[in-house]
Structure formats: structure tokens, C-alpha cells
Amino acid sequence: MKPRRIEDEVFQHLSGRWALQILLSLSNGPLRFIDLRRAIPTVSANTLTTRLRELEAIGFVERRQLPPPTSIQVYDLGEFGRGLRPTLEHLALWKADLCCSAFALRR
């Protein structure tokens, strides 16, 4: 069996369900878990947790604890996620154009 290339593994994670929505949500800055749930209301808490852990393991997402007295964790783009920021911005613009076009077609 042929070993998998690292880029194949990365693209598999990025093409997984919810990955792009998570990265798009975090491209505007750090968010608490509950804020991510609100930004992507159709994802379950378990699925969001799983996807965040996967994206964190490969460096697209970082999780950090806020200083006491809070025990809040926030998620932000990791090193590789920050490298994707320009692409994510273009993707967000494309998504907005697509939504506007679809809305105009329905009228």
C-alpha cells in the first residue's frame, strides 16, 4: 500500500464536513465554543468538538485558556489556518455573491 502524502491528509481534513465553516467563522477572530455553535447553528456540539480537535491536531485551529478568574477556552486560527486567511476571505466573498445571486434568481 502506498503511503499517504501529507497534502492529501490535509485536504481530507479541509474537505471534511464543517471544516470550512469553522475556519470561516474563526477568520474574523477568536471565538468561544458557544459562539462557534451560534455561528454554525446546524452543527451538533459533539460534531463541532470532534472537528475542532481534528483541526487543532493538524495546526489549523488553536485552543487557549483565558486567564483566571475565567475558565473560558477560546478557539482561533492556528499557524496553518492563518496562512489560509486570504483564501478564506475570498471564499467568504464568493459565498456572499452566490447567496445574493441565488436570492435574485428566486425573485
- CATH number, domain of 27, equals 1.10.10.10
Query: What is the per-residue pLDDT for 105?
Result: 65
Which range of residues forms the domain containing residue 31?
A: 6-106
**In contact, 77 and 23? CB cutoff 8 Å:** yes
Q: Give 39-71 pLDDT, tens digit per residue.
A: 999 999 999 999 999 999 989 999 999 888 888
- For residue 51, the model assigns a pLDDT of 94
Q: At what angle do helices 19-26 and 85-106 cross, to 10 degrees?
A: 110
pTM of the entire predicted model: 0.78
Say if 1 falls within a structural domain: no
Residue 32 lies in a domain: yes
The secondary structure of 35-66 as a DSSP string is HHHHHSTTS-HHHHHHHHHHHHHTTSEEEEEP
- Tally the domains of the chain: 1
Q: pLDDT band for position 89 (50/70/90)?
A: confident
